Copies of this chain bind each other. A is one copy, B any other.
Amino acid sequence: MNQSEREAAKRRAGESAADVVEDGTVVGLGSGSTAAHAIRALGREVDAGLDVEGVPTSFQAREIAIDEGIPLTTLDEADVDVAIDGADQFADADLVKGGGGAHAREKIVDAAADRLLVVADPTKEVDVLDHPVPLEVLPDARATVADAVRRLGGQPELRRADRKSGPVVSDNGNLVLDCDFGAMPDPSGLAADLSALPGVVEHGLFVGFADEVHVGTETDVTVFEP
């Protein structure tokens, strides 16, 4: 699958999930390039008369939604009926997210939704998750969390910024450690261990989150419920 085929697959996945959204609902708007296709498709449906409100999962999602004219609301005001979000990798209902460093807010919105529709291209699907897991950590805990990750069998690496000196700083003012655990046959156990580490604001394992997965292919979309 070359770059343009992959882009087309992402678009098909995003549009397929946007089609599921019903009139009068509140929609969690996901982050990443595939979810962006879903937000844009939703924007076209809003132009055509669909009545929805969006809850963005990130700064990026919010900007696209505003650009598309999707009315926005917040978790303080509304319950989320359905969220559409991408993943850096997925195996059945389990995801790794956080390539954009926004996984804390993404997890808050995705967990709040009655249903999560995951949108992806086929390169994201695996049998066993093995993508490095991003941890958002309080700056004070950078060293102690890195030590704890090594004790759990992972290799932590501080995410460095490209357009500023020093580390990436999250929208919440924290640091990101990308932690390579190799293959993760027990994501649920690892998720619990990571959640319990003092100073970990949120980890990128979304275990059992996907209610429906829309995978774009070169010519079509495969939809399944894990």
Contacts and interface: CB of A to CB of B under 8 A. Distances in A.
A76 B175 CA distance: 14
B173 A108 contact: no
Contact of A108 (B107, B112, B198): B198
A115 to B, nearest CB: 15
A199 interface: yes
Interface string A128-150: 00000000001011111000000
Nearest to A105: B140
A155 interface: no
Interface in A131-178: 138, 140-144, 172-173
Given A108-B199, A199-B108, A143 B192 contact: no
A202 interface: yes
Interface in A176-204: 191-192, 195-196, 198-199, 201-202
A91 interface: no
Question: Per DSSP, are chain A's interface residues mostly helix, strand or loop, or mixed?
Answer: helix
A111 interface: yes
A75 interface: yes
A104 interface: yes
B141 A108 contact: yes
Nearest to A174: B172
Contacts of A76: 142-143
A29 B118 CA distance: 46
Instruction: Point out which of A76, A140, A202 has the most chain B C-beta atoms below 10 A from its C-beta.
Output: A140
Which 7 A/B pairs are nearest by Cβ-Cβ distance? A107-B198, A195-B195, A111-B198, A108-B199, A108-B198, A108-B141, A112-B144
13 contacts: A76-B143, A104-B138, A107-B198, A108-B199, A111-B198, A112-B144, A138-B201, A173-B173, A191-B196, A192-B192, A192-B196, A198-B202, A201-B201
Given A75-B140, A198-B202, 5 more contacts: A104-B138, A111-B198, A138-B201, A192-B192, A201-B201
